[in-house]
């Protein structure tokens, strides 16, 4: 679906195609994407991606303040609370439109979720780093596509040993403040790494957004760089989660 | 006013309330006893009639086996997750309860599911509102603890349906409270709502900006509240009685109910006094008496109120906020009157809590505000919009018994997620999906919501079908599932096996049953009213016999009256309204002349200088003779 964004009027996201979806079901006038600009009625949801829902180009370096403003503006027009006395069809549309709005906003406002989402739209399958995937792989005997970033290999090995030791100690009811402290420090340094990786990732956003119009080769180069950063960051995130689990146990 | 007036209802563990928006202000609608709070107590009286609220409270002590309180603790729960409740509360489960069946509670010889018992409370609130408006009330917003899971929400919605109310929205209690709090302020900032009620604890952190009430995070414990404090005190009393007096009254329902009543009074007193006196009458004319100081009380309840700290910390963490960033803390729920609780809140949030709201009423008032918004809004609510979140993550069981989370907790609702499934075996036509709710990694540690069977998948080679399943959490926090096989475009049939809860058919049949109850209610009330009327006329007749007027009647008249009196006495005890009514009317007719003669005598006595009182009109046969009554106003 083609789309035109009117930058001057926030929240006014208008489809510019002349297909049958162009007219408001209720008053027949020209309509915006989600509600009618004439009579204000909610429109049936269209199967669009999160960027399109907000009338945004598929770019990573987006104006989060504007996204937030549009989110509240659209909420005030689409939310099911406003359709409490409407007919069941409008209630249904309002529910679906608002769930799409919330899902899109949640994904786009978060830098990591936004990058992952866009890469998936571009056909990139990110490695499954989740614990669920680990367990799934374990139970099905499949090889899990999880690669330890080589520069982390040594640290991770060391940390896992310490975690195992602490787990054992906790099981025995023992307490080793020195070990706990050491793991706590490792956690802090992992978190710092996580932040650094995010900064590095956002550094590539502009490259990606510009590369979108340029040649295939440079696109692939930026894409692969971002995929690598995401995987490393997710890996560290999971490590931090494991550490937290042991520490809070 | 429009006929589809929407009321706001706080269906609480201990008390329930109904409120509505009067102009710009939400107000609570009182019951016919003039009280705003309807205790969430349901009992069967001696005529096997359902009694609710204040009038049901006496049955907790008189006939504990025919009454129930704190039913909210059992809403949407299965037998295996209420073992703790069964140990601490006098819930009597039906004897023939099958595993996996929805719980049924015994009241006398009858059994009811928790939604049916809640529906009795809702029906009472509905009646209160109808009497207040003098018009039918059929639509409501009902509040639920923010931390209620899908099954508990569904059970609450079922209760609404059974009571004859269309539940337009379930609103989270702390969020409702924030609506009442923010209604007239229109100010921006971060607000934490700390809601410690009779049986549930919630904490929500909201951002208020330009009329939008946006929940950032929520957490809680659906089994933590004033009830738990009561239970600690009850157990101490029982131990004392066993130790000091050598009596074990723990199995004596009446004694336990008396102790419960007394400890609640003590608990309440200790919020304003340094010491309180516990005094309970026990069987065999014994008495249990004890002084409790506030310090002792605070030591006893510390472990319970400490349990609220974890959820508060988690809510702050999930919101990404430090306590210093909270602008105001709002207290909700009766248990927040306890000074030690307030102290804990102050420690947690580094803020003296806002105590300007009535913690018992604020949730119902907020529900009324939300009802007003849903009805189209008014000047007071024009810019208000509530953005709430789902308290628990939604997940799917994947291979290895692991939970794959698809909608994370604190996601703004409505929220949705789409999953794709395929088949493992050639020609497979069914796919089973296990939906879970909770934060744990393993499926067995999460709450099982439902098992879905996708049926009628077109037979294909294994792995070929691409079944798209859409999970949608609506604005009530309730899950909806739809599925489509994408290669054939076929809508899959979904068979839902709710893990806990009533099927639609069960709810329908309960709605029908409830009509019977409503009719039964009405019929019984008629009989009772007629019986009272009979007593009045019989008493009046007795008075008439003593008066000089009696001598002025002919003997035939006296004979006829005596005959009809006997007839009325005979049918009076029966449950036949028509017969009682007829007997009253005929006796009434026959005593008409007696009443007139008494009246004449009274008037002439008055004229001769005696006062009315001296003339001893008494009550006279006034009730059945309204004209006569009017004369003496």
**B7 touches B136 (CB < 8 A):** no
Domain assignment present for residue B555? The answer is yes
Domain assignment present for residue A133? The answer is no
Distance CA B73, CA B11 (A): 12
Assigned token pair, B323? 């306590």
Which residue in B398, B441, B475 is closest to A80 by CB distance?
B475
Higher pLDDT, B549 or B370: B370
Which H or E run contains B21? strand B15-22
Q: Residue B119 — very low, low, confident or very high, per pLDDT cuts 50/70/90?
A: very high
Among B262, B286, B305, the domain boundary falls at: B305
Return the residue of A nearest to B415 by Cα: A99
- A169 with A243, same domain: the answer is yes
For the segment B603-625, the average pLDDT, to the nearest whole number, is 48
- Alpha carbon A3 to chain centroid distance? 22
Distance CA A213, CA A191 (A): 35
pLDDT for the residue numbered B633: 23
Which residue in A80, A130, A136 is closest to B414 by CB distance?
A80
Return the residue of A nearest to B443 by Cα: A132
Among B501, B534, B552, the domain boundary falls at: B501
- B132 with B154, same domain: the answer is yes
* Contact at CB, B375 and A84, closer than 8 angstroms: yes
CB atoms within 10 A of CB B84: 11
- B292 with B325, same domain: the answer is no
Q: For residue B318, indicate whether it is catalytic.
A: no
Torsion of CA B215, B221, B226, B230, to 10 degrees: 180
Return the residue of A nearest to B370 by Cα: A81
Q: Which residues does B566 contact at the CB level (< 8 Å), separation at least 6?
A: none
* Contact at CB, A95 and B475, closer than 8 angstroms: yes
Higher pLDDT, B473 or B423: B473
Domain assignment present for residue B132? The answer is yes
- B180 with B104, same domain: the answer is yes
SS3 B159: helix
Most A-contacting residue of B402, B421, B434, B473 (CB-CB within 10 A), to test interface: B402
Domain assignment present for residue B1? The answer is no
How close A221 gets to chain B, by Cα (Å)? 30
- A151 with A91, same domain: the answer is no
Residues in chain B within 8 Å Cβ distance of A79: 385, 387, 475
How close A156 gets to chain B, by Cα (Å)? 22
Above 90 in pLDDT, residue A26?
no
pLDDT for the residue numbered B397: 85
Above 50 in pLDDT, residue A171?
yes
Return the residue of A nearest to B476 by Cα: A80
**B78 touches B99 (CB < 8 A):** no
- A102 with A154, same domain: the answer is no
Domain assignment present for residue A184? The answer is yes
Beta bridge partners of B10: B17, B143
Q: For residue B173, indicate whether it is catalytic.
A: yes
Distance CA B200, CA B65 (A): 25
Percent of chain B topping pLDDT 70 = 91
Residue B230: CATH number of its domain: 3.90.640.10
- Tell me which residue of B336, B364, B365, B366 sits closest to B352, measured CA to CA: B336
Higher pLDDT, B612 or B503: B503
Domain assignment present for residue A162? The answer is yes
How close B397 gets to chain A, by Cα (Å)? 9
- Tell me which residue of B162, B192, B241, B243 sits closest to B507, measured CA to CA: B162
- A68 with A153, same domain: the answer is no
Residues in chain A within 8 Å Cβ distance of B318: none
Most A-contacting residue of B412, B421, B470, B478 (CB-CB within 10 A), to test interface: B412
- B246 with B383, same domain: the answer is no
Above 50 in pLDDT, residue B621?
no
Which residue in B210, B399, B412 is closest to A102 by CB distance?
B412
* Contact at CB, B374 and A85, closer than 8 angstroms: yes
pLDDT tens by residue, A195-248: 888 998 888 888 888 876 777 788 888 888 888 888 888 888 888 888 887 777
A-B Cβ pairs (cutoff 8 Å, strict): 83
Residue B333: CATH number of its domain: 3.30.420.40
**B615 touches B605 (CB < 8 A):** yes
Alpha-carbon separation of residue B361 from B25, B176, B334, B358, B558 (angstroms) = 13, 11, 9, 6, 59
∠ CA B550-B556-B560, rounded to 5°: 85
* Contact at CB, A81 and B374, closer than 8 angstroms: yes
Domain assignment present for residue B251? The answer is yes
Q: Which residues of A touch B (CB under 8 A)?
A: 72, 75-76, 79-82, 84-85, 95-96, 98-100, 102-103, 105-106, 130-132, 135-136, 138-140
- B220 with B108, same domain: the answer is yes
- A157 with A224, same domain: the answer is yes
Domain assignment present for residue A116? The answer is no
Percent of chain B topping pLDDT 90 = 48
Domain assignment present for residue A127? The answer is no
- B588 with B577, same domain: the answer is yes
Distance CA A187, CA A179 (A): 12
* Contact at CB, B415 and A81, closer than 8 angstroms: no
Which H or E run contains B421? strand B415-421
Q: Residue A130 — very low, low, confident or very high, per pLDDT cuts 50/70/90?
A: very low
- B219 with B164, same domain: the answer is yes
Return the residue of A nearest to B386 by Cα: A81
The total number of structural domains that make up chain A: 2
Prior bond to B437 cis, omega within 30? Answer: no
∠ CA A31-A37-A39, rounded to 5°: 100
How close A214 gets to chain B, by Cα (Å)? 33
Q: At what angle do helices B54-62 and B253-269 cross, to 10 degrees?
A: 130
Distance CA B435, CA B81 (A): 18
Q: Which residues does B146 contact at the CB level (< 8 Å), separation at least 6?
A: B172, B173, B174, B175, B195, B202, B204, B218, B220, B391
Marked catalytic residue, from B45, B150, B173, B361? B173
- A230 with A152, same domain: the answer is yes
Task: Using the Cα atoms of residue B313, residue B315, residue B319 and residue B321 in order, give the sign of their dihedral.
Answer: negative
Above 50 in pLDDT, residue B624?
no
The total number of structural domains that make up chain B: 4
Query: Residue B533 gets which letter from DSSP?
Result: H
For the segment B415-434, the average pLDDT, to the nearest whole number, is 83
pLDDT tens by residue, B512-563: 776 666 656 666 667 777 887 888 888 888 888 888 888 888 999 999 999 9
Return the residue of B nearest to A98 by Cα: B414
- A25 with A82, same domain: the answer is yes
pLDDT tens by residue, B258-280: 999 999 999 999 999 999 999 99
Computed over every residue of chain B, the mean pLDDT equals: 85
pLDDT tens by residue, B74-92: 999 888 888 888 888 888 8
- B60 with B120, same domain: the answer is yes
Q: For residue B72, indicate whether it is catalytic.
A: yes
Domain assignment present for residue A125? The answer is no
Query: Residue B284 gets which letter from DSSP?
Result: G
Distance CA B594, CA B550 (A): 7
Assigned token pair, B135? 């018009």
* Contact at CB, B475 and A81, closer than 8 angstroms: yes
Marked catalytic residue, from B45, B116, B195, B485? B195
Which residue in A81, A132, A138 is closest to B386 by CB distance?
A81
Residues in chain A within 8 Å Cβ distance of B414: 80, 95, 98-99, 102
For every residue of A153-180, DSSP letters joined together read HHHHHHHHHHHHHHHHHHHHT---HHHH
Backbone angles phi, psi at A108, to 5 degrees: -80, -25
* Contact at CB, B385 and A75, closer than 8 angstroms: yes
How close A117 gets to chain B, by Cα (Å)? 13
Return the residue of A nearest to B416 by Cα: A99
Domain assignment present for residue A42? The answer is yes
* Contact at CB, A106 and B441, closer than 8 angstroms: no
Range of the domain at A63: 4-109
Marked catalytic residue, from B45, B72, B126, B158? B72
How close A90 gets to chain B, by Cα (Å)? 14
* Contact at CB, A81 and B413, closer than 8 angstroms: no
Q: Which residues does B313 contact at the CB level (< 8 Å), separation at least 6?
A: B348
Backbone angles phi, psi at B169, to 5 degrees: -165, 140
Residues in chain B within 8 Å Cβ distance of A103: 415-417
Residue B462: CATH number of its domain: 2.60.34.10
Above 70 in pLDDT, residue B136?
yes
- B22 with B112, same domain: the answer is yes
Range of the domain at B513: 506-631
Above 70 in pLDDT, residue B185?
no
For the segment B433-452, the average pLDDT, to the nearest whole number, is 82
Quote the pTM value. Answer: 0.80
* Contact at CB, B373 and A84, closer than 8 angstroms: yes
Residue A74: CATH number of its domain: 1.10.287.110
- B273 with B202, same domain: the answer is no
* Contact at CB, B399 and A136, closer than 8 angstroms: yes
* Contact at CB, A98 and B414, closer than 8 angstroms: yes
How close B416 gets to chain A, by Cα (Å)? 6
Distance CA B393, CA A219 (A): 36
Q: Residue A8 — very low, low, confident or very high, per pLDDT cuts 50/70/90?
A: very low
- B542 with B481, same domain: the answer is no
Domain assignment present for residue A97? The answer is yes
* Contact at CB, A132 and B472, closer than 8 angstroms: no
* Contact at CB, B474 and A139, closer than 8 angstroms: no
Among B259, B276, B305, the domain boundary falls at: B305
């Amino acid at each position: 679906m083609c789309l035109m964004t009117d930058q001057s009027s926030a929240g006014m996201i208008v489809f510019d195609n002349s297909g049958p979806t162009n007219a408001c079901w209720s008053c027949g006038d020209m309509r915006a994407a989600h509600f009618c600009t004439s009579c204000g009625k909610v429109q049936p949801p269209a199967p669009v991606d999160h960027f399109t829902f907000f009338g945004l180009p598929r770019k990573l370096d987006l104006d989060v303040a504007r996204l937030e403003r549009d989110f509240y503006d659209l909420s005030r027009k689409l939310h099911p609370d406003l359709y409490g006395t409407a007919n069941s069809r409008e209630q249904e549309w309002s529910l679906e439109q608002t769930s799409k709005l919330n899902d899109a906003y949640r994904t786009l406002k978060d830098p990591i979720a936004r990058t992952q989402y866009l890469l998936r739209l571009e056909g990139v399958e990110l490695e499954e780093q989740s614990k669920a995937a680990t367990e799934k792989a374990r139970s099905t005997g499949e090889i899990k596509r999880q690669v330890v970033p080589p520069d982390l290999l040594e640290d991770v090995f060391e940390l896992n040993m310490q975690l195992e030791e602490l787990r054992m100690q906790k099981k025995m009811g023992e307490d080793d403040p020195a070990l706990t402290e050491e793991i706590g420090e490792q956690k802090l340094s992992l978190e710092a790494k996580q932040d650094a990786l995010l900064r590095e990732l956002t550094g590539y956003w502009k490259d990606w957004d510009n590369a979108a119009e340029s040649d295939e080769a440079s696109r692939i180069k930026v894409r692969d760089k971002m995929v690598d950063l995401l995987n490393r960051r997710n890996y560290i995130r999971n490590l931090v989660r494991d550490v937290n689990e042991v520490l809070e146990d | 006013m429009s006929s589809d007036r929407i009321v706001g209802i706080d269906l609480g563990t201990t008390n329930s309330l109904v409120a509505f928006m009067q102009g710009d202000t939400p107000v609570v609608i009182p019951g016919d006893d003039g009280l705003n709070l309807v205790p969430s107590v349901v009992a069967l009286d001696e005529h096997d009639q359902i009694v609710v609220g204040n009038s049901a409270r006496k049955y907790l002590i008189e006939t504990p086996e025919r009454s129930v309180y704190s039913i909210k603790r059992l809403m949407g729960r299965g037998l295996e997750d209420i073992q703790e409740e069964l140990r601490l509360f006098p819930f009597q489960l039906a004897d023939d309860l099958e595993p996996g069946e929805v719980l049924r509670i015994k009241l006398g010889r009858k059994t009811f599911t928790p939604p049916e018992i809640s529906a009795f409370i809702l029906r009472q609130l509905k009646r209160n509102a109808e009497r207040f408006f003098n018009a039918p009330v059929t639509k409501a917003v009902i509040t639920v603890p923010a931390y209620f899971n899908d099954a508990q929400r569904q059970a609450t919605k079922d209760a609404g349906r059974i009571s004859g109310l269309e539940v337009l929205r379930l609103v989270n209690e702390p969020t409702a409270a924030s609506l009442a709090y923010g209604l007239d302020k229109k100010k921006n900032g971060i607000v934490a709502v700390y809601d410690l009620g009779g049986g549930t604890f919630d904490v929500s952190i909201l951002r208020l900006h330009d009329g939008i009430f946006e929940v950032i995070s929520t957490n809680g414990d659906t089994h933590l509240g004033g009830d738990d404090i009561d239970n600690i005190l009850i157990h101490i009393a029982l131990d004392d009685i066993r130790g000091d007096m050598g009596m074990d009254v723990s199995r004596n329902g009446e004694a336990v109910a008396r102790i419960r009543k007394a400890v609640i009074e003590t608990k309440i007193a200790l919020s304003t006094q340094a010491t309180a006196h516990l005094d309970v009458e026990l069987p065999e004319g014994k008495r249990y008496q004890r002084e409790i100081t506030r310090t002792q009380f605070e030591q006893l309840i510390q472990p319970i109120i400490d349990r609220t700290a974890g959820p508060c910390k988690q809510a702050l963490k999930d919101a990404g906020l430090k306590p210093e960033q909270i602008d105001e803390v709002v207290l909700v729920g009766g248990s927040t009157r306890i000074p030690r609780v307030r102290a804990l809140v102050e420690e947690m949030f580094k803020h003296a809590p806002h105590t300007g709201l009535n913690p018992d009423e604020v949730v119902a008032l907020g529900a009324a505000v939300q009802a007003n918004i849903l009805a189209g809004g008014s000047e007071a609510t024009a810019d208000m919009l509530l953005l709430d979140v789902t308290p628990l993550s939604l997940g799917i069981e994947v291979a290895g018994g692991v939970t794959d989370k698809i909608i994370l907790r604190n996601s703004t609702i409505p929220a949705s997620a789409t999953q794709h499934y395929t088949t493992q075996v050639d020609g497979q036509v069914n796919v089973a999906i296990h939906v879970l709710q909770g934060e744990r990694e393993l499926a067995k540690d999460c709450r099982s919501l439902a098992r879905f069977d996708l049926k009628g998948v077109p037979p294909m080679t294994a792995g070929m079908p691409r079944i798209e399943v859409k999970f949608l959490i609506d604005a009530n926090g309730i899950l909806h599932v739809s599925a489509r096989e994408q290669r054939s475009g076929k809508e899959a049939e979904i068979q839902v096996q709710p893990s806990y809860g009533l099927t639609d058919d069960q709810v329908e049949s309960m709605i029908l049953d409830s009509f019977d109850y409503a009719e039964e209610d009405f019929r019984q009330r008629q009989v009772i009213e007629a019986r009272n009327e009979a007593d009045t006329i019989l008493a009046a007749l007795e008075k008439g016999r003593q008066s000089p007027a009696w001598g002025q009647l002919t003997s035939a008249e006296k004979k006829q009256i005596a005959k009809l009196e006997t007839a009325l006495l005979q049918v009076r005890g029966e449950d036949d309204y028509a017969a009682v009514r007829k007997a009253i009317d005929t006796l009434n007719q026959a005593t008409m002349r007696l009443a007139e003669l008494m009246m004449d005598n009274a008037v002439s006595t008055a004229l001769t200088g005696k006062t009315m009182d001296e003339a001893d009109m008494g009550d006279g046969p006034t009730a059945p003779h309204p004209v006569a009554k009017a004369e003496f106003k």
